[in-house]
Amino acid sequence: MNNVQEESLRDQKKFRRRLQILEIARGIIATKGLRSLKVRDVAEAAGCSVGSVYNEFGDFDGVILTVNRETVQALTARLSGVPAEDPVRQLYGLAETYLDFFAEHANLLRSLFEHRMEDDRPYPDDILQMVMDAFALMHPPLVRALPDADDVQIALLSRTLFSAVHGIISLGLEERMVAVPPQMLRQQVTQFLDAHLVGLGVLPAR
């Protein structure tokens, strides 16, 4: 067993193909939705056989889950880039960044939140954990904004607040429903945070 990166030709090709399959699958989900993702389409676009997809990902859910995993990672990266100088500003920033990200990658986020496993197989824990971690990004600014609050309470509040924002955005961007104009949705989110932060005593009443 050699742990050194061998960079063998075989591994290179395998890796390249893996990336290619993921890129193609992601593209199809993003543009045509998860339901339009087909093994054969992916294999053909990647220039390989369906067997290779299975060889690399185990089953088709494996492809979807890997795309979903990368979606959370990209989301977390974006959210982590929100400036942390002012905690209140950071909270608004997180919500607006989530809105932007959701608007840019609506179908990818739907895949993340709506995909169900076959039968009763469990959803991978690491993905769930990453989603929870992303939602916990409101924790630090909330701690700073509410110095007297219990840490456990803040953890719960963080999850609640982010879930609320998620609900507003995911339903607001639901093009199935009567679409909310993007600028209106932005205002909706802001006003929501306004009211809630006032209610929490973080902002003064108007």
Partner DNA sequence: GATTCTTCTTGAACATTGTTCATTTTCGCG
Partner DNA sequence: CGCGAAAATGAACAATGTTCAAGAAGAATC
Query: Which of 58, 128, 150, 182 touches its own copies (CB under 8 A)?
Result: 128
Over the window 138 to 167, marking each residue x when it contacts its own copies by CB under 8 A and - when it does not, the resulting string is: ------------------xx-xx--xxxxx
Q: Which does 4 bind (CB under 5 to 8 A by kind): its own copies, DNA, none?
A: none
DSSP string, 41-65: HHHHHHTS-HHHHHHHHSSHHHHHH
Task: Find the shortest distance in angstroms from Cβ 51 to DNA.
Answer: 2
Give dist(CA 136, CA 188) in Å, integer: 22
Which pair of structure tokens corresponds to residue 186?
């932005």
Q: Which residue, chain included where needed, has tokens 């990368």?
A: 70
Choose among its own copies, DNA, none what residue 172 binds, the Cβ cut-off being 5 to 8 Å by kind.
its own copies
36 near its own copies (CB under 8 A) = yes
Residue 189: CB minimum distance to its own copies, A: 8
Identify the residue whose tokens are 């067997």: 51
Query: What does the alpha-carbon distance between residue 66 and residue 19 come to, in Å, rounded to a whole number?
Result: 11
The token duo for 187 is 């205002």
The C-alpha atoms of residue 144 and residue 139 are separated, in whole angstroms, by 9
60-80 and 87-104 are packed helices; what angle lies between their axes, rounded to 10 degrees?
150
Pick from its own copies, DNA, none: which does 198 bind, CB < 5 to 8 A by kind? its own copies
Closest to its own copies by CB, 19 vs 156, is: 156
Contact set with its own copies (CB under 8 A): 33-36, 110, 114, 116-119, 122-123, 128, 131-132, 156-157, 159-160, 163-168, 170-172, 176-178, 184, 188, 191-192, 194-201, 205
